[in-house]
Amino acid sequence: MLPVYSVTHAPGLYRVLNPHQGRWATRYHGFEQGEPVFAGAQEAYVYSGNNPAMCADPSGQPTAAEAEFVQLPPGTFRDGYYSYSPRSSQWGTQALVSCLTTTGALWFRAVIASHRNRVFVGVGDMSLKEGGAPPGHVSHKTGKDVDLRPLRCDYRSGPTDIDKKNYSRELTQLLVNLLRTACSIKMILFDDTEVVGVTQDKRYPHRNHLHVRIK
Ligand SMILES: [Zn+2]
């Protein structure tokens, strides 16, 4: 049986709770040695590449370089977001997962708690567990990309696009602002150029999602 380790989940920090067995999950010669489990029941993997020298820090504090791909925790009510992609396509760098959980927390405070508007941020494809893109993507290989749904004005969480009547430029602008507050953004591709802080890439349509890449 594979060993299971517990780590706490907080933005930018993953701590081994059982330091005596504490080794970060590694892939070594293709063999998966550890399977951390986030506090609570949420499963997640933390990869440290295939260098065995990188795997064990018995005191439990990994450097950013050691803890690479992490799975987005399933969004619960207070997280402010929901997933609309398979969990298998929701892996990214620790920085990206922190970006999304922090943005979700800010969203919860700004919209759901303050205005009783129960509209949540839809999080779509990120990367696959060991890197690489989910089907249908040109990028999304490095764990730094995520697709997010634009927001709707009808108090519902779900798909929309910029031509639909239920598309909310105002809420989508708020999402962009929160992303730029919480994350180190490289670019946000989106076709509603009235939204400040996004760019349009005419080669690829982004009418029903924002493509976010962090640095
Ligand atoms: Zn994308």
pTM value surpassing 0.85: no
Separation of CA 212 and ligand 1 centre (Å)? 7
Cα 54 from Cα 79, distance rounded (Å): 32
Whether 192 and 108 map to the same domain: the answer is yes
The CATH code of the domain that includes 182 is 3.30.1380.10
The number of folded domains in the chain is: 2
Could you tell me the distance, in angstroms and rounded to a whole number, from the CA of residue 35 to the centre of ligand 1? 28
Tokens of 69: 């791909």
My answer on whether 44 and 145 are in the same domain is: no
Mean pLDDT of the chain: 73
Q: What is the pLDDT of residue 166?
A: 94
**Ligand 1 mean position, distance from CA 118 (Å):** 25
Q: Do 93 and 52 fall into the same domain?
A: no
pLDDT digit string (tens) for 35-66? 333 333 233 334 333 233 333 333 333 333 33
Residue 49: CB atoms within 10 A of its CB come to 15
Check whether 20 has a pLDDT greater than 70. Answer: no
Q: How confident is the model at residue 18 (pLDDT cuts 50, 70, 90)?
A: very low
Return the closest-CA partner of residue 89 out of 45, 47, 53, 124: 124
For residue 128, the model assigns a pLDDT of 83
Q: What's the gap in Å between 145 CA and the centre of ligand 1?
A: 6
In a domain, 72, yes or no: no
Ligand 1 geometric centre to CA of 36 (Å): 28
Bridge-based pairing state of the strands 145-148 and 210-214: antiparallel
Distance (Å) from CA 133 to ligand 1 centroid: 10
Are 69 and 144 contacting, i.e. CB atoms less than 8 angstroms apart? Answer: no
207 Cα: distance to centroid of ligand 1 (angstroms): 11
Same domain flag for 189 and 158: yes
Contact by Cβ (8 Å): 150, 162: yes
What's the 5 CA to ligand 1 centre distance in angstroms?
32
Q: How far is CA 44 from the centre of its chain?
A: 12
Q: Is residue 68 very low, low, confident or very high in pLDDT (cuts 50, 70, 90)?
A: low
Distance 173 CA to ligand 1 centre (A): 18
Residues in Cβ contact with 198 at an 8 Å cutoff, skipping those fewer than 6 apart: 176, 188, 189, 190, 192, 210
Are 124 and 178 members of one domain? yes
- What's the gap in Å between 1 CA and the centre of ligand 1? 36
Distance 53 CA to ligand 1 centre (A): 34
pLDDT value at 194 more than 90: yes
Is the same domain home to 119 and 17?
A: no
Give the pLDDT score at 34: 37
70 has which bridge partners? 92
Q: How far is the CA of 179 from the centre of ligand 1 (A)?
A: 15
What is the reported pLDDT for 44?
35
From ligand 1's centre to the CA of 70, what distance in Å?
A: 18
User: Domain range for residue 11?
Assistant: 1-67
pLDDT bin (cut points 50, 70, 90) of residue 155 is confident
